[in-house]
A and B are shown apart, each in its own frame.
Chain A
């Protein structure tokens, strides 16, 4: 390590609190030295460092995009610390010490008792032996040959897979935030399902316990080989308070012949207070490559948190007969902003895609659906159906739709439908007649509105998501 680096690393952390392992936090700012530092800290091979540097050099040539329908103060990329080793969190001794607000939320969501503790950061081994559970899961997965670990572990244990697939779906220079992520990502998940294996459990179950501590620049890579299938759930219905304001994750999915990947997201990050102060900027690049014949990639997302959500989980349907799906519910309240949607790029023959997007805006929030359906000249017989519905609650919010439809093949059939509605006085009156209060009525109407999407979620999350929604919109009607 050079002398400059050495001094940088050993510089005392001068922003308020002291941390006993100061060398584990990189100084603020972004430059090649920092990237080399991250790479060195993680003991990465040379090719990964050059991958990062390539991304960084590309990022320098790019400008922050301006086309999106969200507004935020300019981000100072030099004011972010790009590396910090997971700090051992102060464990709470019992549930009594947990913030009552958090407990109230758990209560409302109906999170199982033993999980509440884990989520709230109570020393889990007191109540719940997470280590043993994790081990059981790991054993079960290993038996069938599934690799499921953090991306840094995978870099060391399975470099050939990482080298082959990392950046193959989202290239380093894909977009501004993806380039940034490629340069500085610290950790994330890696999942590899070998040929012909059906993953015996929803990876969600496992993930939920491990939910804490995922970083600001997450990187996820999921590969399903021929005939494999997996269902993966990211995030958590429980509210997450995080000090990092900018989150720029990258998720890459690769499905080979006959493989099936189902990726579900429930996002409930801190959305700022009711005046729009604070909250997380969630700028994510998610893309799946349906590379093989008859492969299938399905995205389901429930976006309720973050001050700004800006993401387009996409499918590149390259294999013939491949299928892409996108089911989304985006709820915005107060001063939240969401610009989300999907891209379905049809390249192979007889590829099919379905888009169902439901946007709910309340308070002073704005939600946009922005989608692209592109039928390439090679996509004979491609088929797309899109439906995007918006619901407005209150007259201060906005709902927007920007569907791009680009068709280059006349054998394709593309349909797009959109509608906007509100919860009418007459609907509420109808419920009132039957003795149902307005709060509950709104919750029922919203759940009916979002039913098509919730059906796609793994069972237990569907139940929680339903509750989450009514919880988010509490007090916005009546």
Chain B
């Protein structure tokens, strides 16, 4: 990548940065300012950066996509197909901008669920302390860009010992062509609270755009959070996302992330088990075909003793697609009795499909149980034969086995209607693939 190409993408974005932010809150202006300065000190990553070794985003560099415009002519019926009947709370963002008339919060006076600007003054103390503090932007240019352009965003604060039974659906819809949008989420679970968040990225058209999203999750002692993340952007899109989770004592974080769309997608998930006895369960499924590239980087950071983490990541790769998985587990000195397991399983359906996987362990404590495993392969001939011997055609047998491979991850989604929806997606994808 040459220097002028870099200039194009970053320069065109930075030109649009509203220098005179007229926010009432000085801290918010300052946060944006810091992030903006951070963008200035960084460059777009290239394949020479270890973190981006397998993901070539040089095609992004020459794009001069402007930040998206806050305009929305959508009606509820345009989006109904993505609504989930279980979700009583729904926040809709179109191209990163909050759309009030499409969003519903069951109990707006009691619950802090809504758009960031609505809480900036009323919840200043807590937001100042939390926003932008989990997702560090000094080493990630995309997080820095998102923070510099921070305006709208989903804010969800669950008070102490409160259980929100119904899932909260945050729907990010892409409509505009050739724009960059900056979705943002902040989920704070106070001590003993429980919540389920569905972060859903969808596209109304086949347009080309860049989604640069950041999600921050802070869990206090004994808080439980389930986080379902579905990325079904348009096949022309670029999806660059990161999610940072901080866990306090005995908190529990469960994540299921499904990656289906985008031409190039990158998801960084950083979970920090910052206090003792925290637990996390992380599952991921990447299902891609054609010339798609999907990259998942996770980092589970065991900073304190008695933490538990379990991770499973599966990739199903068809066509000339390329899946990348990098799973890092760090066990700090003195984080004794950490129990951690990680598995990366990859299924290659075509001759030209490609997988790069790197399960990585960094262990600095001795009384730990850590294991990881990785496999790459194709469908087992004997399994196919078994099904054929029971009268299934080869195509059906293959599709069934592929579906079963994915189903293990999908079964971890606790919302029935969403699970059905995704099962259908997986089935239709495998069906369209005569072997």
Contacts and interface: CB of A to CB of B under 8 A. Distances in A.
Interface of A: 67, 375, 377, 390, 392-422
A406 B351 contact: no
A402 B360 contact: yes
Interface in B345-393: 346, 348-378
Contacts of B334: 395
Interface in B290-308: none
Contacts of B366: 392-395, 397, 422
B78 interface: no
Contacts, number: 110
A400 B368 CA distance: 13
A418 B357 CA distance: 14
B333 interface: yes
Interface string B235-251: 00000000000000000
Interface of B: 50, 54, 333-334, 336, 346, 348-378
A390 B368 CA distance: 11
B378 A401 contact: no
A400 B352 CA distance: 32
B363 A404 contact: no
Contacts of A412: 348, 376-377
Contacts of B371: 417-420
Contact of A408 (B354, B368, B373, B374): B354
Contact of B378 (A410, A416, A421): A410
Consensus secondary structure, chain B interface: strand
Contacts of A413: 375-378
6 contacts: A397-B364, A401-B360, A401-B362, A404-B356, A407-B357, A420-B371
Given A392-B366, A413-B377, A417-B373, A400 B351 contact: no
Contacts of B336: 395
Given A390-B363, A395-B366, A410 B357 contact: no
A418 B359 contact: yes
Contacts of B375: 413-416
Contacts of B356: 404-407
Contacts of B333: 395-396
A80 B369 CA distance: 45
Given A393-B366, A407-B346, A416 B361 contact: no
B373 A418 contact: yes
A420 B370 contact: yes
A418 B361 contact: yes
Contact of A405 (B350, B353, B358, B378): B358
B351 A410 contact: yes
A410 B353 contact: yes
Consensus secondary structure, chain A interface: strand
Contact of B363 (A394, A399, A417): A399
Nearest to A383: B377
A26 B20 CA distance: 66
A413 B358 CA distance: 16
Nearest to B323: A407
Contact of A403 (B349, B358, B362, B370): B358
A398 B329 CA distance: 13
B348 A407 contact: yes
B50 A405 contact: no
A400 B374 contact: no
Given A393-B366, A419-B370, A405 B361 contact: no
A392 B377 contact: no
A405 B359 CA distance: 9
Given A377-B351, A396-B333, A407 B358 contact: no
B348 A410 contact: yes
A420 B363 contact: yes
A377 B320 CA distance: 12
A408 B352 CA distance: 7
Contacts of B354: 406-408
A404 B358 contact: yes
Contacts of A400: 360-363
Given A377-B351, A394-B366, A405 B360 contact: no
A408 B360 CA distance: 21
A405 B357 contact: yes
